[in-house]
Amino acid sequence: SSDLPLSNVAKLHICCVNRKASCNIRLLRMVEVLVCASCPEVHHDQAAQLCRQHGIQKAFGKAGDMVNSLSGKDWIPKWEAKVVMATVTKAQTLDAKKASIICIAGGRHCDAEMARQPALVRAIKTEMEDLDFRVRVEWLEMPEFVEKCAQLGKADRSQKGKGKGVTNNHGGKAGEFQSAKPKKD
């Protein structure tokens, strides 16, 4: 089974009806998916690692990646499609009602990506087939992104000892959710 890291805004409480029955997943609060859509190439590796650590969906790339290798010169539609599909897939998987799109400022295409924000939001709502789906786009400098991730980590750790957040009886580490299979006697 694979692990699915959860951010502090995507906390799930796992409650088994009984040890041999399938587990129910109950949302403790409205789930918000986090997607990092843009990052200057100089920060790529650090930002990608932070995304993995904090359950942020990575939707940015770098020169020579798969999306960059697709035919056609215009990279904007490729970038938009990648961000939209990453957001929609994660939101549908977690049954989320809102998304936060994080863009790390400073890249050479930053202005062009900023200009596409309204179209990006419309495309996400259209793909979600829900015009009430909430999308927030946030532009951060790299130090602000690092601080945001640190705050996510602190929130995860503070919830651990308070009986809130994830109750994982399936061998998962704190802050992680493994496949919800009941233990066998």
CA distance 79 to 104: 14
Helices (H), 2-141: 44-54, 75-94, 110-115, 117-128
Identity (one letter) of the amino acid at 42? V
Model pTM?
Answer: 0.68
Name the token pair of 21.
């029955």
CA distance 163 to 43: 36
Kindly report, residue by residue over 137-168, the tens digit of the pLDDT.
999 999 999 999 999 888 777 766 555 444 33
Residue 100 three-state SS:
strand
Kindly report, residue by residue over 46-85, the tens digit of the pLDDT.
999 999 999 999 999 876 666 655 556 677 888 899 999 9
